[in-house]
Structure 1
Amino acid sequence: MPRTHAALWRDPALPHVESRRACHSRACYKAHSHPTFSIGAVDAGVSHFTGTGNGQERLTPGTLVMVPAQRVHACNPEPGQAWSYQMLHVAGDWLAALRLESALGGAGPGEPARICRDPEVYRQFCELNGLLFSNASNAEKDAALIAFLGDLDVAAYPPLAPAPALEASALRGLLARIEGLDPAQLSLDALARESGFGRYALIRAFRAATGFTPHAYLLNARVNRGRQLLGEGQALAEVAYRLGFADQSHFQRVFKAYVGVTPGQYRGG
């Protein structure tokens, strides 16, 4: 029988978010509510959810459920069976501020939960949660959280304002600013203040202009610089340090995600 395993991620530097993973769990929960906006994802097994206002819903692997703060709900595996899931909790006041600054709509406290069965949204959620559990920087984690939550709201609710556009001169200034920064100094909050956009509004505008979020743009630039340094024969640890990655394993993970091979494989041809 597979071993039950659970892991919790939280960081005092990001007090507005925490996440949990559970594998092969048989735990059952009474109907309850959270003071947070919560997103659950079923990874394996089948569960039964109440909280949408439509009676009990059967959730299969790859299904997400978005639960507003204060919404009474319950989610449990089929009797006698185990399931695996992920659960993300976001502080309600922080989310309300994010929505306000970027003119986003969204479900309010106590409103019915929403179920999503879109495979791409599930993939993006797993990617976000994997990032939260990784050794990526807090700024990168927070930016990814903002992008994911904003995209969820835009997809589910009519935007309260059209997507903003970056003028060519403003875009050039942002690109120069990002490329000239030490990775540890890249702050979405600071970029948003300088550009006059909300944080998610800036992500939308920047992504529309470049195809990247600001943090993804920086990662891509760092990987391209890494290709050059590896080609010059520099050691992996030295390249990771020069490019501002937390450690060599972080550099290897990001490099492979962008290039398709590890730095060592790339350097060896």
Structure 2
Amino acid sequence: MPTARSQLWRDPALPWVESRRACHSRACYKAHSHPTFSIGAVDAGSSCFSGAGDGQEHLTPGTLVLVPAQRVHACNPEPGQAWSYQMLHVDAGWLAQLRLESGLAAARPGAPARISREPALYREFCALNDLLFSAASSREKEAALVAFLGDHDFSAQPASLAAPSPALEMPSLRGLIEHIEAQDLAHLSLEQLAGQAGLGRYQLIRAFRAATGLTPHAYLLNARVNRGRLLLRDGLALADVAYQLGFADQSHFQRVFKAHVGVTPGQYRHVQ
């Protein structure tokens, strides 16, 4: 049986981007979202891509998945199988500015995910990611990223049926999500969130799940993991990050983090 392996790439000179490659992986992820625009590529094996609802799409090698910020999704191998994939994360604000310069619309946070099965686009993405993991200079990598992201109108790709865009129809929910992102995530409770939204707890769970694809509890866990990534990148110790984010202990933080990110907090923090 081939050995599973995973690589992370970051560069302090390019803080708005990071990439990951996994080979022969059997890891499964909980439904989650990122504050970044993300591009995933299936290299080998096949996987199931799902969104906020019950729908699924089967992805085969050579497929790209384009996931806007805050779009709830999960991509996991077929049951009992392994797969190989790549995942690029780009800061949503940085990308929006680049797309503006390029005359292209940036996918708004929460927009539908899109699926590309174009062989040429997949090959270009693989070449870009190979360059990111190489010993090339930061300037060369930045130029390649700018060219790739500015050259392609991702909105022309078909929208994923498994990850449509539920609407935040209630202004109170839009305000609540902004409130969550700005608060001390360690101490927010369901009761506090319901009060902030002017809803009962059960009403909030139903409305929040319909609007985001996650329950308030799952959304808070996801937000804590995303904030944990930032704290780990700043070099904070694992125990300090777990404490700041309100996890019961370091091992609890490690379990939740790996279920969302695919690597342990220690592995994530030590990438140079």
TM tier, smaller: 0.5 to 0.7
SS at match of 2:88: strand
Aligned to 1:126: 126
How much does 1:86 deviate? 0.2
Q: Any conservation in 2 of the 1:37–1:89 contact (CA below 8 Å)?
A: yes
Moved over 6 A (4+): none
How much does 1:103 deviate? 2.3
How much does 1:152 deviate? 2.1
Q: State which structure, 1 or 2, has the greater radius of gyration over its C-alpha atoms.
A: 1
Aligned to 1:142: 142
User: Root-mean-square deviation (CA), in Å?
Assistant: 1.7
Q: Any conservation in 2 of the 1:52–1:112 contact (CA below 8 Å)?
A: no
Aligned to 1:101: 101
1:111-260 map, 5 Å: 111-153=111-153, 156=156
Give deviations 1:126-146, integer Å, cap 9, x for gaps. 000000001111111111111
Structure 2 CA distance for partners of 1:155 and 1:124, relative to 1, 3 Å = farther
SS at match of 2:152: helix
- In 2: Cα distance, 1:122 partner to 1:34 partner: 22
Structure 2 CA distance for partners of 1:134 and 1:106, relative to 1, 3 Å = same
**How many equivalent pairs are there?**
157
Aligned to 1:88: 88
SS at match of 1:7: strand
How much does 1:153 deviate? 2.0
How much does 1:53 deviate? 7.5
- In 1: Cα distance, 2:155 partner to 2:54 partner: 21
SS at match of 1:115: strand
Aligned to 1:51: 51
Give the structure-1-normalised TM-score: 0.56
Letter in 1 for 2:30: K
- % identical aligned pairs: 76
Aligned to 2:23: 23
Structure 2 CA distance for partners of 1:110 and 1:154, relative to 1, 3 Å = closer
How much does 1:101 deviate? 2.4
- Unpaired segments of 5 or more residues in structure 2? 158-272
